[in-house]
Structure 1
Amino acid sequence: MRVRDFSRPTTLNSDRLFGQVAQKLAVAIINGTFKAGELLPNEDALKSEISVSRTAYREAVKVLTAKGLVESRPKSGTRVAPRDGWNLLDPDVLSWHFRADPNETFIRDLFELRCFIEPSAAKLAALRRTPADLARIEAGYRGMIDNPPYAEATIRADIAFHEAIFVAAGNSTLQCLASVVSAAIQWSLLLKSADDKNCFVESLVDHERVLDAIIRRDGDLAAARMSALVIDSLNSTLALLPGAMSANTAKIA
């Protein structure tokens, strides 16, 4: 699966050497090249693939350690950590999963999380939104309409739509999960083709229906429509995977 390069939902600066090294190592860990318990290759072992300095390597290892992908122990060196210790909700870890060619299980897990979070956020947004909140949600939707399918501006508008709903929900703890949803949305959209206009039109309809429910202040309807939006997005994303099941049969349990 090939990801377009014009936008990258990550907190790391890809122009900095340590960011490039961190991504290189992280992708290799996630795709299984470096397995749990194995020693992480040092900077000398990486020089055949990427220019790397000792300082950049150390900074990259610090990043991976903070995100749970590697662990350092005295007399044991730096080793790949078990997957159950990874911070899977970190935006960088999510982006590295997509760089590593995500499989169906990973995508389903991510969208299942969205299906738990976003309908609740939409319900609260419908009940609590202020005029300013509604204006931001509407602006996100208009940005999707006014720009070409899957253009960078369209993707940003889509993310703004969902982030505005989290803000309108008025729950600070729930809003902490907005960055996870934003990263998932951005990467799933980057996988899609501007030529797939039917899928884009269907997505616009889903977003319009959520917006309409929020305008009506109908929390249950907003939740139901957001759930449908997430499932439709899952179906269209799974359809891009080699050998994926039909979009008509791909469902969240």
Structure 2
Amino acid sequence: MRVRDFSRPTTLNADRLFGQVAQKLAVAIISGTFKAGELLPNEDALRSEISVSRTAYREAVKVLTAKGLVESRPKSGTRVAPRDSWNLLDPDVLSWHFKADPNEKFIRDLFELRRFVEPSAARLAAIRRSPADLARIEAAYRGMTDNPPYAEATIRADLAFHEAIFAATQNSALQCLTSVVTAAIQWTLLLKSADDRNFFVESLVDHERVLEAVIQRDGDLAASRMTALVIDALNSTLAFLGPNSSALTHKIA
């Protein structure tokens, strides 16, 4: 699977050597090249594939440790941590999953998270939104309609739409999930083909229907329409993963 090469939802600077080393190691861990419990290769072992200094290696290991991918213990060295220790909601860990060629299970897990979170956010947004919130949501939707399918400006507008929904909830705890959801959305959008307008048009309709429900201040309607949006987005993403992926056939659970 080839992911198009522009804006990435990641916090690491790809121009910094330690960031390159961290990504190299993380992708190998996530893809299963380095398995849980195995010793992490040292900087000398990596030099055949990437230029790496001892300082960059140590900084990279610190990053991976903070994100739960590796763990260091006295006398046993730095080893790959079990998957249940990984911070899967970290934007960098999400980024590395897509670099490692995401499988259908991972995609479905992300969308299951979205189905739990986003309809509730849409419900609260419809009930609590201010005029400024509504203007922000409408502006983001216009950004989606005014730009070509899957162009960078269109993706930015799509992300802004969902960010504005979370902001309109007036719930600071719920808003903490914004970066996780938008990172998941951005990566799945980057998987799609700019030449396929059918899914793009369907997505515009789904976003417009959510917007209409928010305008009407109908929380239940906004929630059900956001559920439909997430399911449609999952089905279109699975279509790009290949013919063996099984799409959902219902709109509302």
Residue identity (%):
86
Q: Which residue of 1 aligns with 2:97?
A: 97
- Superposed displacement of residue 245, structure 1: 2.9
Per-residue CA deviation, residues 19-58 of structure 1 (Å, 9 max, x unaligned), is 1111111010000000000000011111111111111111
Match runs of 1:60-71 below 5 Å: 60-71=60-71
The equivalences for 1:65-144 within 5 A come to 65-144=65-144
Q: CA RMSD in A?
A: 1.4
Partner residue in 2 for 1:214: 214
Name whichever of 3-12 and 219-228 sits farther off: 3-12
| Contact 1:235 1:250 (C-alpha < 8 Å) held by counterparts | no
Distance 1:250 1:6 in 2: 33
Judged with a 3 Å threshold, the aligned counterparts in structure 2 of structure 1 residues 252 and 58 are, in CA distance, closer, same or farther, namely farther
Distance 2:227 2:244 in 1: 21
Matched letter for residue 238 of structure 1: L
| TM-score normalised over the length of structure 2 | 0.97
Asked if 2 retains the 8 angstrom alpha-carbon contact of 1:30 and 1:100, the reply is yes
1:214, 1:160 → 2: CA distance?
15
Question: Take 1:54 and 1:105, find their aligned partners in 2: how far apart are those partners?
Answer: 36
Runs of at least 4 residues of structure 1 off by over 2 A?
242-253
Where 1:214 maps in the other structure, the secondary structure is helix
Deviation at 1:125, TM superposition (A): 0.2
Q: CA deviation at 1:241?
A: 1.2
Counterpart residue type for residue 136 of structure 2: R
**Secondary structure, in 3 states, of the residue corresponding to 2:56?**
helix
Q: Contact 1:206/1:228 (CA < 8 Å) preserved in 2? A: yes
Q: Is the 8 A contact 1:108 1:252 kept in 2?
A: no
Other-structure match for 2:184: 184
Change in 2 beyond 3 A, CA 1:197/1:130: same
Any unmatched runs of 5+ in structure 1? none
The CA distance in 2 between the partners of 1:28 and 1:239, in whole Å, is 26
Q: 1:203-244 CA deviation, whole Å, 9 max, x = no partner?
A: 000000000000000000000000000000000001111343
Q: Secondary structure at the match of 2:79?
A: strand
**Matches for 1:1-253 after TM superposition, within 5 Å:** 1-247=1-247, 249=249
Q: What residue identity is the alignment partner of 2:147? A: N
Deviation at 1:249, TM superposition (A): 4.3
Q: Amino acid of the residue matched to residue 13 of structure 2? A: N
Q: Over residues 161-200 of structure 1, what are the superposed CA-to-partner deviations in whole Å (9 max), with x where a residue is unaligned?
A: 0000000001111111111100010000000111010110
